[in-house]
Amino acid sequence: MKKSKVKSSKHEPSKHKQNNITKGIIISFCVLIAVYIAVSLYFANHFYFGSKINGVSVSGKTVDETKTKLASVLQNYTLNIKERNGKTETIKAQDINEKYASNNDYQKLKNEQSPYMWITGIFSKKNSEMADGISYDSNLLKEKIDALSCVNGNDITEPQNPSFKYTSKGYVVIKEILGNKVNKDALYAAAKKAILNQESTIDLEKSNCYITPKYTSSSPKVRKTKELLNKYVSSKITYTFGNQKESIDGSAINKWINVNSNLDVTIDEKKEKDYLNKVFSKYETTGKTRSFTSSSGDTINVSGGDYGWLVNTSKEMESLNSSIKKGQTTTKQPAYKQTAASHDANDIGNTYVEVNLSKQHLWFYKNGSLVTQGDVVTGNVSLNDSTPAGVYWVKYKERNATLKGQGYSSPVDYWMPFNGGIGLHDAPWRHGQFGGDIYLTQGSHGCVNCPPDLAQTIFNTIAAGTPVVLY
């Protein structure tokens, strides 16, 4: 009997391989599902990978572990304040009673993270980050800031604008001083922001917490102020007093000049006036003692009165300051309140009225020549109405005046006042009785009583401003 041959299929190995692949895929898929389920079970109680609260990683942490970690982070939080001089000061969380606003309630974030959607957390941060507000005691923060040495220390330097120094070559700019004074309000705002954002450092320089000078050496305003100052001190004003001169230039002017906080140039008028008064006083003669040669040939000293040179300093300052602001060089006379005959030692000149009170006699000279003379009656000594000695000047002259005072009213033809209500005038009621000792008990109320013809001659010749010398 002949055996038949069994043919093997060439497809059998291929089917086996396919079965193995299929089996492997199924097993892998089951493993993946098992792993995914296991990881999902893990994330049922743990935060997604990449989860952050206030920037702190809580990846894989449980809610309780997160609370512990964040509490530790907050407890260890320190705000470092970096200062200009290289010094650093700190404010700690416990110093200001710092807390999380949510009271560590992070379950809400966890609830938003579905355990079975954990894989999406790898690609999206939608449900992976949380900002937990910070609360603190604002009063404690202010107290801590007030206590910082950069705020209330002993080595705080005020900022200063550039200043200007006068030299023989004009003004130079002295560089500004930055100082280290802190703007407390700006520091408080920066600290508040840093605490809420849990930032570890405030750089006072970068945070613009320092009070800075309004201007620096490179500011256009500084250049303009320097130019103006140099214009002022380039001025030279020369005053003439007869043959004598006094010059005022930058060496004096610079001492009156001030520059305010806005770099505006001002003139200290008090300093200016004090300086000018010292200069002018050397040439003012009002009230000063004079050496006078009397008609009898005697040289006497006469003091008092209101005659003489007197500068109107206030008015002159207006003119002077105008010249200074223009940078002018000029020669001039100062503005005067009143003038005298000359700037010589004898400023009375050679036109004047002379009254010898003890001899009760008057002389009137014009251009050195005697115009007239005669006996007079002056103030009543017994009633303390003596005519004051001194050098005065005729203020004006008036015809037909009425002189009034306590208990009297006297019409006169010729009135020439020289000292308030005291003056030269005719006194017809004396009926020609003048000179001698009349003035001791029957004198005037202070005026110089003249015979009518003497008063008329003087009146017709004299001019306002003429000196009256009484001694």
Q: With CA atoms as reference, report the closest residue to 289 among 307, 312, 273, 277.
A: 307
Q: What is the dihedral of CA 365, 369, 373, 378, to 10 degrees?
A: 20
C-alpha to C-alpha distance for 459 and 469, rounded to whole angstroms? 16
Q: How many CB atoms lie within 10 A of CB 176?
A: 20
Q: Name beta bridge partners: 164.
A: 173
3 state SS for the chain: CCCCCCCCCCCHHHHHHHHHHHHHHHHHHHHHHHHHHHHHHHCCCCCCCCCEECCEECCCCCHHHHHHHHHHHHHCCEEEEECCCCCEEEEEHHHHCCEECCCCCCHHHHHCCCHHHCCHHHHCCCCCEECCCEECCHHHHHHHHHHCHHHHCCCCCCCECCEEEEECCEEEEECCECCCCECHHHHHHHHHHHHHCCCCEEECCCCCCECCCCCCCCCHHHHHHHHHHHHHHCCEEEEEECCEEEEECHHHHCCCEEECCCCCEEECHHHHHHHHHHHHHCCCCCCCCEEEECCCCCEEEECCCCCCCEECHHHHHHHHHHHHHHCCEEEECCCEEECCCCCCCCCCCCCEEEEECCCCEEEEEECCEEEEEEECECECCCCCCCCCCEEEECCCCEEEEEEEECCEEEEEEEEEEEECCEEEEECHHHCCCCCCCHHHHHCECCCEEECHHHHHHHHHHCCCCCEEEEC
Q: Name beta bridge partners: 129.
A: 52
Burial bucket for residue 328 (CB in 10 Å: 0-12, 13-18, 19+): middle
Q: Where in the sequence numbering do the catalytic residues fall?
A: 425, 447
Sign of CA dihedral 170, 175, 181, 185: positive
The residue behind tokens 């009254």 is 355
Which amino acid, 43? F
Residue 286 sits at φ, ψ, to 5 deg, of -60, 125
